[in-house]
Amino acid sequence: MSNENGFTIWFTGLSGSGKTTLAEQVARELRVREINVEILDGDEVRANLSKGLGFSKEDRDTNIRRIGYVSRLLARNGVGVISAAISPYRSIRDEVRRSIEADGGSFIEIYVKCPVHVLARRDVKGLYRKALVGEISQFTGISDPYEEPLHPEVVVETDQESVEDSTTKILVALERQGLLSSADEVWQDTLQQQNLEVTIHSQELTIDPQEVCG
C-alpha cells in the first residue's frame, strides 16, 4: 500500500451531481483500508477556508487554488485527500494537478457527470429552481460556465449508475493506479491477522498448562 505517499482524488462536476455523496463513500472504503483520509468539501471550504469569497471567476479560481494548496500539503504527508468542489474551470484544475504531480503526488480527476435537466429534477438543495427563476445568479451549468475535463482518470455517470456502481468504479481505478490494495488483498490481510491471533492464542494455551503443572 502506497499510503506513505498520499494522493489526491479530485471530484469535479455540477451542483447536485454526486460529489459529496461519492466523496463520503470513497472515504469510508479508504478508511477500511487504514488510509488516513481528509475530505475537502466545497460547501465546507466556502464556510471556512474561503469564507467571504463569491462566485466570480476570480473568486472561484482562488477557492480552487486554496483547496489545491491544502491538498498538496496533506498528500505529501501521506494523507489520501478527497476534494469535492464544483471546480468549473479546466485550467485551474490542471494547474492544481501540475502542482501536486510536481511534488511527486498522484492526482486522480473524477468527472461526476450528470445532465443539467436531471439535476434540475433532482434539485437536492433547491438551488436549480432558484437559478432557473433568476433568484441566484452565476449558477454553474445554468448561468455560469462549466468546463468538462478532457482526460479525467474516471467518469461516473450518476444519472445511470447507482452510488455503489460509481464508488466501485473509482476504487477499481485507484487499485489500477497502485494506490490501494485490491479487495482480495485486504481480505487476505484480514485473514492473516486472524490467523496470527489464533496462533498467539493457541500458544498461550499450550504454555499455560505447562506453567500450571510446573
Ligand X SMILES: Nc1ncnc2c1ncn2[C@@H]1O[C@H](COP(=O)(O)OP(=O)(O)O)[C@@H](O)[C@H]1O
Site residues, Mg ion (CB under 5 A): 19-20
For the chain, percent helix, then strand, then coil, each to nearest 5? 55, 15, 35
N residues, the chain: 214
Q: How far apart are CA 173 and CA 110, in angstroms?
A: 10
87 is annotated as an active-site residue: yes
Closest Cα partner for 100 from 136, 124, 69, 61?
Answer: 69
Q: Judged by CB, which is closer to Mg ion: 11, or 181?
A: 11
Is the Cβ–Cβ distance between 11 and 110 less than 8 Å?
Answer: yes
Q: Judged by CB, which is closer to ligand X: 124, or 207?
A: 124
Cα-Cα-Cα-Cα dihedral sign, residues 182, 188, 193, 196 = negative
Q: Can residue 163 be called a binding residue for ligand X (CB under 6 A)?
A: yes
The only residue of 124, 172, 198, 207 in contact with ligand X, by rule CB under 6 A? 124
Which of 15, 50, 71, 87 is labelled catalytic?
Answer: 87
Q: Can residue 83 be called a binding residue for ligand X (CB under 6 A)?
A: no
The only residue of 6, 7, 12, 16 in contact with ligand X, by rule CB under 6 A? 16
Residues forming the site for ligand X (CB under 6 A):
13, 15-22, 84, 122, 124, 158, 161-163, 166
